[in-house]
Structure 1
Amino acid sequence: MKRWLWIILLMALVLAGAFWAMKPQPVEVTAAVVGRAPLRVTVEEEGKTRLRDRFVVSSPLAGYVRRMKWKEGDMVRAGDVAAVLEPLRAQLLDVRTREQGEARLKAAEAALQVAQARLSTMEQQARAAQAEASYWAQQLRREEPLTKSGDIPQERLEKTRSEAARTEAARRAAENAATTARAEIEQARAEVAAARTALLEPSVGQQRGQGSELVTVRWPVSGRVLKMVKESEGVVGPGEALVELGNTRALEVEVEVLSVDAVKMGPGTAVELVRWGGEKPLEGRVRMVEPSGFTKISALGVEEQRVRVIADITSPEQEWQRLGHGYRVEAVFILWSGEKVLQAPASALFRTGEQWNVYVIEGGVAKKRAVTLGHRNGLAAEVVSGVKEGEQVIPHPDESVVDGKMVVVKG
């Protein structure tokens, strides 16, 4: 009898073990509570600051600029002298240039001598023409009364008049030729002076621009010196940049965003500038989304279409006064925000076809439930319908979690 009791007890234990082994075991999962909290939909990109207005002060003409006293970061006022230009310095003569100059001087001196000799000839011809014209003028005056009295025939008087007119014209022509010869002499003298000047070696005073006419370049606006393009003295050409100037208190932020994100922005979109080096984020507003995009190669070698977005800093100036031109910032564009938004973790969402779903824990069992979503970001999504506040959902459900599966929350 006792033996049968042991047999029955052993069989009961075997059956209990088999039942326990075949009983479905709950899956361990983590749980998140659907609740209400602030939610923002943002786009975050790296950007940099830049001056809204940047001026380049350049040389108005070719010359020799004196060394400028300004340093990068100096404050300047509109109308003050920025730079002083001198005439271009004379060049030192090499052997070939000197010989050419000496030959030019000899040719100019010879031309001057020829002009002087020609002037002497023209003056003599003018004196002879003056004497002949005076003779025939006097002869005309004597014959006119004699012709009236009949002592001299009319034909003789006409001939005298003709000679007087011819000699007067010859006198004028001779005087004009002498005047031309004098002008040629002045021109020849100028050529000689120019040739002699070209052969002069520049003195120290001439090299430093002493006694020369100076041109001053003034600051167009008040601001801060950003870059000294030409700090040392030297030769500059017309339009050559000397210094860059700008107002560092008029900063804006330039951000290159993906074109698919740029279409969601517009003037007035709120921006937060973070990780710029200050203690707290700065506030800003989008001023302009440029109408044209460009192709940029990402760090992974992928072609991306990007668009430049320009934003103004709206925080008080004392909070960002240490920012300058070209400083790195990270811009967070706030596309949408809400305060008490019913939301679920983005990790709990999965799709079946076009429908979004979550697994809700009901009485220790995972229940698949369809949900309607609103705004989403990378961490959470607004739930319009499908779950209620306070219900638990399963983040990151794996293949072991199915509809109707028993689950147990870890911890």
Structure 2
Amino acid sequence: MATQRISKGKWAFWLLMASVAAIVFALILRPEPVWVDLAPVERGPMEVTILEEGKTRVKDRYLISSPVAGYIHRVQLDVGDAVIPGELLTFVDPTPASILDARTRAEAEARAAAAQAALQSIQQKVQAAEADAEFAQNEYQRLLALEESRFVSTEQLQQAKSTAARAQAILRSARFDEEVAAHELAAAQTRLQISTASSNGQKPAERVAVRSPVNGAVLALVRQSEGVIQAGEPILEVGDPGALEVVVEVLSFDAVKLEPGLGVRLSGWGGPVLEATVRRIEPIGFEDVSALGVEEQRVQVIADMVSPREQWRQLGDGYRVDADFILWQSEDTLQVPTSAIFEYNGASAVFMVESETARHQTVTTGPSNGLMTQVTQGLQEGVRVVRHPGRGLEDGDQVRVR
């Protein structure tokens, strides 16, 4: 009996040892869990933008030059000084005018007639611009009155507001052109008058006044000191700082994604975030060298201010801004980190983690901003996915979070 008990005890011992050995071998041969980084699938606002650096520019710039050859008096204005139409800028003492021969006089009379015709043409454009501006303002006021009754969408109201602002800017530009054409006509007539006085033995004007053609400010002083000056030589540059536009140089690859009317967000200039809209994408590109020495093809994009003048009153000509072109945006969309998405059999896929196990999941994606990507099918909010999945990770692998 004692021998039988010893024999059974040995069998039980060896059976226990064999079980322990099997468990140890199973643990040794079991694959090690893959270390991964996880990120949740979540809902929230998302937008796709193109960020580039731009600068402000006065829309209508006028380079004022000397109407006659002679001796210019010192310009007493400084850059930034305000000017009004007809304001005296400086004097030019003309050199004695020679009597015009028949051909030169005929040319001068033709130039005066051309200036007169140009003025009349611009006056017609001003009337057309006034009609367009009045119609755009009336349309905006009509839609604004319908806003409370919900018969008009916010997008239509914003578009009407933007159209009214552009129409006002076009009207201001047309009026500036009218003022410039009037002064060009006066300059052409002055030459004839002085020459006529010389031919009749009368004393010509002792000095010619150079006046501002527009309402604005001095943007640059080309010639400030007194001295001899030739006809047509530039003196100073004026413009209206209240009519600013933004010039942004974008890569040609990105320029094809833009279109007139696209929203632009301006920041990084030291004030509040401003709104603007794309007015024109220039059809001609140019070559530029980046800070890293890479040759790039770029295109100039022009945007108009939409935000009220009070918000960007401190902006001036040539100021730097950061321009965000808003290609797509949503206030609430399901999104996942772009680093979690990979290509699998021609489709987009991710690895979901359920009970510490990686599961392959095919997804349908939407727009992406580089960091986050919209998911339209295949995932639900709160699901955890693997970021930067390695090549060795497969469906069903055990994972461990770093």
TM-score where L is the length of structure 2 = 0.67
Q: 1:57 aligned to 39, 47, 64, which one?
A: 64
Q: What are the Cα deviations for residues 188-217 of structure 1, in whole angstroms up to 9, with x where unaligned?
A: xxxxxxxxxxxxxxxxxxxxxxx9711111
Contact 2:57 2:246 (C-alpha < 8 Å) held by counterparts? yes
What is residue 260 of structure 1 aligned with on the other side? 253
What is residue 82 of structure 1 aligned with on the other side? 89
CA shift, 1:378, in A, is 0.8
Aligned residues: 288
**Secondary structure of the equivalent of 1:47?**
strand
CA distance in 2 between partners of 1:7 and 1:342 (Å): 58
Percent sequence identity is 46
Contact 1:273 1:329 (C-alpha < 8 Å) held by counterparts? yes
* AA partner of residue 254 (structure 2): D
| Structure with bigger gyration radius | 1
What is residue 241 of structure 2 aligned with on the other side? 248
Moved more, 68-77 or 313-322: 313-322
What is residue 289 of structure 2 aligned with on the other side? 297
Superposition pairs of residues 272-311 of structure 1, within 5 angstroms: 272-278=265-271, 280-311=272-303
What is residue 400 of structure 2 aligned with on the other side? 408
What is residue 326 of structure 1 aligned with on the other side? 318
CA shift, 1:48, in A, is 0.7
Q: 1:356 aligned to 344, 348, 354, which one?
A: 348
Contact 1:265 1:335 (C-alpha < 8 Å) held by counterparts? yes
CA distance in 1 between partners of 2:339 and 2:307 (Å): 35
Structure 1 residue runs of 5 or longer lacking an equivalent are 90-210
CA shift, 1:61, in A, is 1.3
**Secondary structure of the equivalent of 1:261?**
helix
Q: Aligned-pair RMSD on alpha carbons?
A: 2.3
CA shift, 1:30, in A, is 2.1
Please say if 1:213 is aligned against 2:209. no
* AA partner of residue 317 (structure 2): H
* AA partner of residue 84 (structure 2): R
Please say if 1:69 is aligned against 2:76. yes
CA distance in 2 between partners of 1:87 and 1:11 (Å): 119
CA distance in 1 between partners of 2:380 and 2:389 (Å): 19
**Secondary structure of the equivalent of 1:43?**
strand
CA shift, 1:387, in A, is 1.7
What is residue 35 of structure 1 aligned with on the other side? 42
CA distance in 2 between partners of 1:8 and 1:369 (Å): 44
Q: 2:370 aligned to 370, 373, 378, which one?
A: 378
CA shift, 1:348, in A, is 0.4
CA distance in 1 between partners of 2:259 and 2:283 (Å): 11
Q: 1:336 aligned to 324, 328, 341, which one?
A: 328
CA distance in 2 between partners of 1:323 and 1:354 (Å): 50
C-alpha spacing 1:49/1:27, structure 2 compared with 1 (3 Å)? same
**Secondary structure of the equivalent of 2:269?**
coil
C-alpha spacing 1:61/1:353, structure 2 compared with 1 (3 Å)? farther
Moved more, 7-16 or 247-256: 7-16
Contact 1:66 1:232 (C-alpha < 8 Å) held by counterparts? yes
C-alpha spacing 1:353/1:298, structure 2 compared with 1 (3 Å)? farther
CA distance in 2 between partners of 1:16 and 1:384 (Å): 45
**Secondary structure of the equivalent of 2:363?**
strand
CA shift, 1:371, in A, is 1.3
CA distance in 2 between partners of 1:55 and 1:335 (Å): 35
**Secondary structure of the equivalent of 2:31?**
coil
C-alpha spacing 1:298/1:79, structure 2 compared with 1 (3 Å)? same
Contact 2:68 2:94 (C-alpha < 8 Å) held by counterparts? no
CA shift, 1:6, in A, is 7.8
CA distance in 2 between partners of 1:218 and 1:336 (Å): 49
**Secondary structure of the equivalent of 1:31?**
strand
**Secondary structure of the equivalent of 1:70?**
coil
CA distance in 2 between partners of 1:245 and 1:263 (Å): 34
TM-score where L is the length of structure 1 = 0.66
Contact 1:88 1:235 (C-alpha < 8 Å) held by counterparts? no
**Secondary structure of the equivalent of 2:387?**
coil
Please say if 1:17 is aligned against 2:9. no
CA shift, 1:9, in A, is 6.5
Q: What are the Cα deviations for residues 227-263 of structure 1, in whole angstroms up to 9, with x where unaligned?
A: 1111110111111110111111111100011222212
CA shift, 1:11, in A, is 6.0
CA shift, 1:333, in A, is 0.2
CA distance in 2 between partners of 1:318 and 1:387 (Å): 46
Q: 1:231 aligned to 202, 224, 231, which one?
A: 224
CA shift, 1:293, in A, is 1.7
Moved more, 396-405 or 263-272: 396-405
